[in-house]
């Protein structure tokens, strides 16, 4: 492996290891002060962590996201969390994050999109780290944005703001407004939200396609200007979160290790519905389960450098004939 790639992988691993392995049990005073709901609705505010590679938990039934054909067996424990004393089991076949080979035969893909995913997988199998928005420091489209290991939610009167723990990504969701009539595509799209009882519903369209690396996931799955993403956020107990967490543990590699069996707070369950009649044959669904994180997260910034790992494609920085000083 080239030295520059080894350095990059080391820095990435170090950043992820700096994240807490699992949400700590709350101190008594924090438990007593935490409320599940605000006066206006559910309290989603605070930091939530999901340090899993590549990202989504698959749905129990129906069409789901692209998964990795390259698998990696590791020794782990049951990933459901919340049940102390679980015996260790050999959970083989989770996604090999070092080789991102998307399942191009997934029926959700239109033929042209399947071919894009297939070619990306061939590059990864050949040892080529192909560029994506995260590793080239570009803003990340929705739902690619949710590959981050943690996010912070801020609930304001007229908007919900999401801060992601890498690359200074900030997403704004306008509350109780329709999509703009004259929509200008943007990096994160036009996101509008409203509450349906205890559920925050976010609807996103207008994600910019005229950009480098227009993909919805780490497998290079493309999207078009018809992309439509709906997210539904709910606070749930362990009983309602465990099935998705178990499916996620069979699919994803958890950077911080197994879920904390002593976790006692609410889980944040996000249900995604994704459709794009230009790239997909059908709408598909996915889930993400977050745990509250009461630790301060480290800053992880994407930085330009003189060394690249994409076979030196797209790594040119501005040059000057004469020095500035």
The label of the residue with tokens 């070619």 reads: 119
In this prediction, residues 30-42 reach a mean pLDDT of 47
pLDDT at 312 over 60: no
DSSP reduced 3-state for 44: coil
Question: Hey, which of 52-66, 71-85, 302-316 has the most confident mean pLDDT?
Answer: 52-66
The Cα–Cα gap between 270 and 156 comes to 19
pLDDT at 315 over 70: no
The Cα–Cα gap between 113 and 175 comes to 33
Tokens found for residue 322: 């004469």
DSSP reduced 3-state for 263: coil
Residues in Cβ contact with 21 at an 8 Å cutoff, skipping those fewer than 6 apart: 256, 257, 260
Interval 135-188: pLDDT, tens: 888 999 999 999 998 999 999 989 999 999 887 899 999 999 999 999 999 999
- Let me know: does 151 contact 224? Beta carbons within 8 Å: no
Query: Other CB atoms closer than 10 Å to residue 319's CB: what's the count?
Result: 5
Whole-angstrom Cα Rg for the chain: 20
Tokens found for residue 219: 């497998």
Q: Please tell me whether the overall predicted TM-score, pTM, comes out greater than 0.85 for this model.
A: no
The conformation of residue 278, written as its DSSP 8-state character, comes to T
Whether the bond into 187 is cis, omega within 30 of 0: no
What phi, psi does 12 have (nearest 5°)?
Answer: -65, -45
Interval 183-203: pLDDT, tens: 999 999 999 999 999 999 999
């Amino acid at each position: 492996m080239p030295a520059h790639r080894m350095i990059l992988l080391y820095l990435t691993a170090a950043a992820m290891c700096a994240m807490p392995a699992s949400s700590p049990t709350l101190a008594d005073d924090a438990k007593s002060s935490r409320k599940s709901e605000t006066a206006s609705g559910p309290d989603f505010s605070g930091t939530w962590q999901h340090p899993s590679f590549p990202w989504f938990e698959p749905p129990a039934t129906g069409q789901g996201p692209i998964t990795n054909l390259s698998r990696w067996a590791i020794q782990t424990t049951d990933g459901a969390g919340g049940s102390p004393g679980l015996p260790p089991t050999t959970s083989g076949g989770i996604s090999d994050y070092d080789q991102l080979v998307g399942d191009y035969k997934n029926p959700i893909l239109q033929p042209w999109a399947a071919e894009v995913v297939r070619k990306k997988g061939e590059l990864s199998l050949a040892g080529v780290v192909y560029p994506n928005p995260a590793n080239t420091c570009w803003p990340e489209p929705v739902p690619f944005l949710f590959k981050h290991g943690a996010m912070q939610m801020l609930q304001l009167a007229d908007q919900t703001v999401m801060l992601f723990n890498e690359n200074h990504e900030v997403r704004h969701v306008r509350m109780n407004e329709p999509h703009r009539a004259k929509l200008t595509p943007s990096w994160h799209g036009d996101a509008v939200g409203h509450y349906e009882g205890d559920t925050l519903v976010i609807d996103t369209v207008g994600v910019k396609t005229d950009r480098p690396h227009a993909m919805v996931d780490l497998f290079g799955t493309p999207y078009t200007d018809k992309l439509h993403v709906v997210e539904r956020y709910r606070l749930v107990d362990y009983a309602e979160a465990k099935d998705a967490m178990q499916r996620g543990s069979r699919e994803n590699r958890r950077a911080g290790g197994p879920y904390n069996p002593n976790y006692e707070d609410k889980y944040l369950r996000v249900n995604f519905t994704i459709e794009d009649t230009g790239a997909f044959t059908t709408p598909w669904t996915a889930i993400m389960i977050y745990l509250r994180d009461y630790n301060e997260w480290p800053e992880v910034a994407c930085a330009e450098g003189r060394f690249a790992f994409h076979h030196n494609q797209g790594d040119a920085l501005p040059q000057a004939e004469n020095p500035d000083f």
